Amino acid sequence: MVEIYSKALNTSILVDRLIGKIKGKPNGPTIVFFGGIHGNETAGVFALKEVFEKIKETQVQGTIYGISGNLKALKTNQRFIDKDLNRVWLKENLSQLENKTNLNNEEGEQQELYRILKHILKEEEGPFYFIDLHTTSSKTLPFITINDALINRKFSSLFPVPVVLGIEEYLDGPLLSYINQLGYVSLGFESGQHDDLSAITNNVAFIFLSLIYAGALEQGEVQNFHDYYDILVNASDKDKEVYEVVYLHRLLKTKNFKMKPNFKSFQNVKKGEQLATEENKTIESPYSAKIFMPLYQKKGSEGFFIIKKIHPFFLSLSEVIRKWKMDTLITMLPGITWMDKQRGVLRVNLKVTKYLAKQIFHLFGYRNKQKNTTHMLLFNRERTSKKEMYKNLKWYKRVS
C-alpha cells in the first residue's frame, strides 16, 4: 500500500497497484483505467477510487479495472523518479524488460504494469478499452488525446470534450501508443490542472461516461448521468472540435526554459507572439493557432505544443479514404514503397515529402515516425487496429 496525497482535497488515501476490479455479468467489455502514470498527477487515482466505491458489481456488464501507474512517484508527488514512465513503451525496451535485473524505479513499475496488461489481454474478453487519466501543469479545458485510428476517433466523438490528434508523432513511447499499436481502443484523458479540484470531478464524470458508452453500465443505472455529462460540457466551454498537433517546442539540453505566465491550453496565440524564454532568447509562436500544454513544471521535455482545428470536411474525407483502403494509391507515387504492407508501414523518400504535405498522409491514416537522412517511415493506424472487435457496436456504426 502506498499513501497518496491530494492537494485539492487536502487528504490522503492508501492504494495498491490495483485500485479496483469489478467482474460483472459475462458478455460485456473489458475496460482498463490507468491513473497516476505520472506521479504528480494524482487526480486520476482519487477519481478511480471514488468511482469504484460507487459502483455495485450487480450493475456491471463485463469487467472494469482501475490500475495505479507510478506508485513510488505517486507517493512522493513527482512526475517520475528516474525516467518518465510514459516515454518507455517501446518494443525494444519491452523485449528486454522481462529478463532484466537491476531495474531502475520506472523499469520496476513498467515490468509490473506490462505483466498486468498481458494478463488482462489473455484472461479477459473483448471488446477492450484502455483509458489513461492525466492532468497538466497549466490551466486547461479537459480534453482527449488519441492516436489517429478510426476506432479511437469514433469512440472519443461520444464525449462532450475536444479531441487532439497526432501527438504520437512528437512523443516516443507513451503507454497508449503501445496499446494502440496492439489494435485496441485507447484514449488519454487530460482532466485539468494537477491540483485543481475540477481535475478530480472531471475525471469522475469521464470515467462514468466511458463505462456507459462502452456498455459496462446502463445509462439508467447511473443516477447522475446527465450531471456528469453537463460537468464536461461546461468544463470544456462546449468545445468538442477535433484538433491536430502541428508543432512541438522540444526541450533538449536546455534547462533554462520558462513559459511566460498564465497561458492556458487551447488559448489563441498569434504568429510571432512571445511565448517563452530559453537561454535568454525569446521563443515566439510559429503559427497563429492555439497553444497546447505549455509547461509550467520542472520535469518534462516538451515546452509547448501548437494545435490547429481540423475542418469536419477533412475528417469525413479521411474516413472514406480509410474505409476503402485507398492508401494503396499512394504507393503508385514515385519515392513511396511498402516496407511492410501487413503492418501498414510505408517507406518514403524525403524528397517526396518536400512537395507532398504531411496532411495528405494524415488523411490516408498515416503518421510519421523514425527518420534517417534520406527516408521516413509512415505507420498506418488503420491497418493495425482490430476493427473486427468493434465494428458491430452501436458507437462504431453511429454516424457522427
Q: Which stretch binds Zn ion (CB under 5 A): 28-36, 37-45, 203-211, 360-368?
A: 37-45
Q: Which 3 state secondary structure label does DSSP give 394?
A: helix
Closer of 150 and 167 to Zn ion (Cβ): 167
DSSP letter, residue 91: H
- Residue with smaller CB distance to Zn ion, 71 or 348: 71
Q: Which stretch binds Zn ion (CB under 5 A): 11-19, 25-33, 38-46, 237-245?
A: 38-46
Candidate ranges 39-47, 110-118, 264-272, 376-384; the one touching Zn ion (CB under 5 A)? 39-47
> Which of 79/153 has CB closer to Zn ion?
79
- Grid-cell match 488519454, residue found: 188
Query: Nearest distance from residue 278's CB to Zn ion, in Å?
Result: 22
Stretch that binds Zn ion, among 41-49, 145-153, 161-169, 233-241 (CB under 5 A): 41-49
Select 196 or 327, whichever has its Cβ closest to Zn ion.
Answer: 196
Nearer to Zn ion, 195 or 382 (CB): 195
How far is 74 from 2, CA to CA, in rounded Å?
8
Q: Which span sits near Zn ion by CB under 5 A: 31-39, 65-73, 266-274, 295-303? A: 31-39
CB atoms within 10 A of CB 158: 16
Residue 193 beta carbon to Zn ion: minimum distance, rounded to whole angstroms? 12
Helices (H), 55-196: 71-75, 91-97, 105-123, 150-156, 175-181
Strand residues in 137-173 grouped as ranges (E):
143-146, 163-165
Considering only residues 342 to 381 of the shown chain, the ones binding Zn ion according to CB under 5 A are none
Cβ distance to Zn ion smaller for residue 134 or 367: 134
Contact stretch for Zn ion (CB under 5 A) within 34-42, 147-155, 225-233, 247-255? 34-42
Q: Shortest gap between Cβ of 346 and Zn ion (angstroms)?
A: 31
Nearer to Zn ion, 179 or 310 (CB): 179
Could you count the other beta carbons within 10 Å of the beta carbon of residue 231?
A: 21
C-beta of 36: minimal distance to Zn ion in Å? 9
CB 177, min distance to Zn ion, A: 14
Alpha-carbon dihedral sign for residues 118, 122, 124, 129: positive
| DSSP-assigned states of every residue in 344-380 | TEEEEEHHHHHHS-HHHHHHTTEEEEEE-SSEEEEEE
Angle (deg, nearest 10), helices 225-235 and 197-213: 130
| Minimum gap (Å) between residue 38 Cβ and Zn ion | 4
The single-letter DSSP state of residue 9 is T
Q: Give me the least distance between CB of 175 and Zn ion, in Å please.
A: 10
Residues 104-143 within binding reach of Zn ion (CB under 5 A): 134
Q: How far is the CB of 134 from Zn ion (least distance, A)?
A: 3
User: Is residue 242 within 8 Å of 117, Cβ to Cβ?
Assistant: no
Report the DSSP pairing between strands 61-68 and 25-35. Answer: parallel
Q: Residues in contact with Zn ion, total (CB under 5 A)?
A: 3
Among 15, 36, 38, 131, binds Zn ion (CB under 5 A): 38
Do the Cβ atoms of 174 and 86 come closer than 8 Å?
Answer: yes
For 273-294, give one letter per residue: b (16+ CB within 10 A) or e: eebbebeeeebebebebbbbbb
Nearer to Zn ion, 39 or 365 (CB): 39
Closer CB to Zn ion, 233 or 251, in the complex: 251
Which of 204/348 has CB closer to Zn ion?
Answer: 204
* Residue from 35, 4, 8, 30 nearest 19 by CA: 35
Q: Give the rounded distance of the alpha carbon of 164 from its chain centre.
A: 9
The least CB distance from residue 135 to Zn ion, in Å, is 7
Residue 40 C-beta: closest distance to Zn ion, Å:
8
Of 263, 310, 267, 313, residue with least CA distance to 289: 267
Residues that bind Zn ion (CB under 5 A): 38, 41, 134
